[in-house]
Structure 1
Amino acid sequence: MSTISEGGHPLTVINVFTVTPERQADVVRMLSELTEQTVRHQAGFISTNIHASLDGMRVVNYAQWEGREHLEAMMAVPEARERMRELTQVAASEPHLYEVSRVYQK
C-alpha cells in the first residue's frame, strides 16, 4: 500500500513518460506488465501507482521503495533493464528520486 509520510523513508520515485496520445495506452500496459511480472517481486518494493494524463501525452509512474539500494538492485535485474529499454523506445522517460517533505490531509 502506498504510504505518505514526511522524512526519508520510503524512497519515492516519480518517473514521467512523455508519449504521443496514440501510444499512451501502450506505455500504461508496458509499465503494468513490468510491475506485475518483475518489479513487485523485488526486495524492498512497496508500491507502484500508474497515472495516465487526460491529454494523452504523459504517463506518470509513482513508485515507493524501502530504500535506494532496493531500487538500484531492481534496476540491475536483466528483465527489468530490458523492459525499461523497450519503454524508452516508445516514450521519453524522466525519472527522479524524492523524499516527502510535507504531508497535508483532510
Structure 2
Amino acid sequence: MTVTAQIDSTRPVATLINIFTVDPERQDELVALLARATEETMKHQPGFIRANFHASKDGLRVINYAQWESEEHYRAMLANPEARVHMDQAAKIATDVQPRLFQVRSTHGTDTPTGS
C-alpha cells in the first residue's frame, strides 16, 4: 500500500528542509540511516508528522523534507539525546548539513483546489 504525503498550506506546521551534501558513494548509506532513524526514533517524538527523503540523481545531495506540529516540537526533538545520536551519525556521513525551518505558503497540484 502506498501512502501519499500531503503538503497542507492551511495547517500551521513547522517544515524542516535539511540539505545534506554527501559523497556519491555514501548517498545510499545516508538515506538508509535517515530512514532508520525516522522509524526508530523521530516518528515517536511528540509533534512529528512525516518525513520524506529525496536523493539527487548526481548522488551529491540528500534532502530531508519533514513536518512537525510546531517549531517547539521540532526544537524539543533537537534537544532529545536519542534523536541527537542519529543526527550526529548523519553529520559524520555528510560533508555539509544545512537545516532550515520553513512555512508552507502555497501548494499546487491536480489534487488541490486552486489557490490552496
Q: TM-score range by the shorter chain?
A: over 0.9
Residues 1:72 and 2:68 are matched in the alignment = no
TM-score normalized with structure 2 length = 0.85
Whether the 8 Å contact between 1:7 and 1:99 is mirrored in structure 2 is: no
Q: Decide which structure has the larger Cα Rg and report it.
A: 2
Residues 1:84 and 2:84 are matched in the alignment = no
Q: Specify which structure has the bigger relative contact order, considering alpha-carbon pairs within 8 angstroms and separated by 6 or more residues.
A: 1
- RMSD between aligned residues: 1.4
Q: 1:85-100 counterparts in 2 under 5 A?
A: 85-91=88-94, 92-100=96-104
Whether the 8 Å contact between 2:31 and 2:53 is mirrored in structure 1 is: yes
Whether the 8 Å contact between 2:13 and 2:71 is mirrored in structure 1 is: no
Whether the 8 Å contact between 2:19 and 2:63 is mirrored in structure 1 is: yes
The count of residues paired between Structure 1 and Structure 2 equals 106
Corresponding position of 2:109: 105
Q: Which structure features the higher share of strand residues?
A: 1
Corresponding position of 1:39: 42
Change (3 A) 1:3 1:10: farther
Matched residues, percent identical?
Answer: 46
Amino acid at match of 1:99: Q
Which has the higher mean CA deviation after the structures are superposed, 11-20 or 72-81?
72-81
Amino acid at match of 2:69: E
